[in-house]
Amino acid sequence: MSSVEDAEEEEIGWGGVVRLGTVAVTGAAGNIGSVVRKALRDEATRVILLDRVPLRPEAENEYAHTVDLRDAAAVESALAGADQVLHLGGVPDEAPLADLLDANVLGAHHVLEAARRTGVERVVLASSNRVTGFYPVGHLTRPQEPLRPDGLYGVSKAAVEALGQLYADKFGLSVICLRIGSFEPQPTEPRHLATWLSPRDAIGYIRAALTAPPSTRFTTVYAVSANTRRFWEVPDPAVLDYTPVDNAESHALDIPGADLPADPASPQAGPYALPEFTLPHLGF
C-alpha cells in the first residue's frame, strides 16, 4: 500500500466517517459527555476528558483531567494539543444568574480563549433549545430568528452563543453551536414528542459538527431527533451534514397524555416558561 493510501486509511473511522484527531470533551462526566466519550474512543486518535468530577480513563487513548472551567490556566493546559473541542461543561438547568454567568458564560469564555491560544481548529458549543423557549408550539423555529430565552439558563446559553460568534468573527475560530433538545434514552412526557434528542442522534450531530469542513466559520443548529411533532428546524445538509433518524412518535403509546392536542399558542418551553420556574432563583 502506498503512503497516500496509508494516509487515507488513517483518516477513515467507523462507518466511513472521517477519523478525528485529538478531541477534548468538557463536562465529560455529564449525561451527554458519558455517552459521547464512548463513541469517540473508536473515532479519535486521542480523547481528552475534562470535568470537575474526577474521571478515570477507560481506554488507552483517553486522558482525564480534573478541571474547574473557571480556572483559565488549567483549561488552557488541559486543551493543549487538541484539534477539536466539544464543550459540554456548565450548569445544566435554571439557577441564580450569578452561578450561570460564572459556570456557563465565563467557562465558555475560558474554553474559547484557550482554543484560540493553543491553535484548536474547531469548537463545538453545547447551547440549548431554551434560548428560544417562548416561541409558540405552532411555530417552526429556525436558528436565524431572534432569541426568546425562557429563563436565566436560556439567557446564559444565549451569551455562550454570542461568545462563539465573537471568536469566529474576530479571531477566525471555527465554531458550531448545537441547540440541544431533550436528551433522554427515550421520551417520557408529552413535550418530548417534539423535543426529544436520542443518544444515537446526539452522537450523529456531534460527529457532524466535529468533522464539518474547515470553511464552516460559524453556525447554529437545533440538535433534535426526527420527531413528527418537532417545532424546530433540522439543519440543512449544506450547513451541517447530519439527518436525524429517531422519532419520538414511536414511543407515543407509552406516554400518558400523548393523545391530547397541544395548544399551538403555548410556549415551546412548556413548564420552563412559567414564572414559578425562575422565581426561586432570583434571590429576592
Task: Pick 9 or 86 by higher pLDDT.
Answer: 86
Identify which of 187, 166, 184 has the alpha carbon closest to the alpha carbon of residue 175: 166
Predicted confidence (pLDDT) at residue 107 exceeds the cutoff of 90: yes
User: Average pLDDT, stretch 95-109?
Assistant: 98
Between 17 and 248, the higher pLDDT residue:
248
Decide: helix, strand or coil at residue 254.
Answer: helix
pTM of the full structure: 0.93
The pLDDT assigned to 19 comes to 73
Among 203, 162, 151, which residue's Cα sits nearest to residue 35? 203
Decide if 32 contacts 88 (C-beta within 8 A).
yes
Report the distance separating Cα 53 and Cα 225, nearest Å: 29
Closest by CA position to 157, among listed 135, 136, 182, 131: 131
Enumerate the β-bridge partners of residue 267: 136
Could you tell me which of 110, 97, 26 has the C-alpha nearest to residue 64?
26
Q: Which single residue is written with the C-alpha cell 488549567?
A: 74
Residues 191-215 have a mean pLDDT of 97
**Region 139-159 average pLDDT:** 98
DSSP state of 30: S
Rounded CA-CA distance 195/33 in Å is: 19
pLDDT at 122 over 60: yes
- Taking a C-beta distance cutoff of 8 angstroms, is the pair 19, 12 a contact? yes
Q: Is the pLDDT of residue 147 over 60?
A: yes
131 pLDDT more than 60: yes
Q: In angstroms, rounded to a whole number, what is the distance separating the alpha carbons of residues 44 and 66?
A: 21
Span 150-170, pLDDT tens digits = 999 999 999 999 999 999 999
* 11 pLDDT higher than 80: no
Per-residue pLDDT of 21-68, as tens digits, reads 999 999 999 999 999 999 999 999 999 999 999 999 999 999 999 999
As a whole number of angstroms, the distance between CA 273 and CA 258 comes to: 20
pLDDT tens-digit map of 201-212? 999 999 999 999
Q: What average pLDDT does this structure show over 243-269?
A: 97
pLDDT for 260 equals 95
**How many Å apart are CA 73 and CA 55, to the nearest integer?**
20
Q: What is the DSSP string of 193-206?
A: HHHEE-HHHHHHHH
pLDDT at 14: 39
| pLDDT band for position 254 (cuts 50, 70, 90) | very high
- The structural domains of the chain, ordered by start, are 9-281 (3.40.50.720)
Quickly state the pLDDT bin for 284 (edges 50, 70, 90).
low
Query: DSSP character for 236?
Result: P
Q: Are 107 and 69 in contact (CB under 8 A)?
A: yes
Q: For the chain, what percent of residues have pLDDT higher than 70?
A: 93
CA-wise closest residue to 223 among 248, 210, 204: 204
Q: Determine the Cα–Cα distance for residues 9 and 192; give it in Å rounded to an integer.
A: 40
What proportion of the chain, given as a percentage, has pLDDT over 90? 92
pLDDT at 283: 83
pLDDT of residue 50: 98
User: Where in the sequence numbering do the catalytic residues fall?
Assistant: 153
Helix (H) or strand (E) holding 281: none
Gap between the terminal Cα atoms of the chain: 70
The rounded mean pLDDT for the chain is 93
User: Chain centroid to CA 253: how far?
Assistant: 29
Q: Which residue has the higher pLDDT, 117 or 283?
A: 117
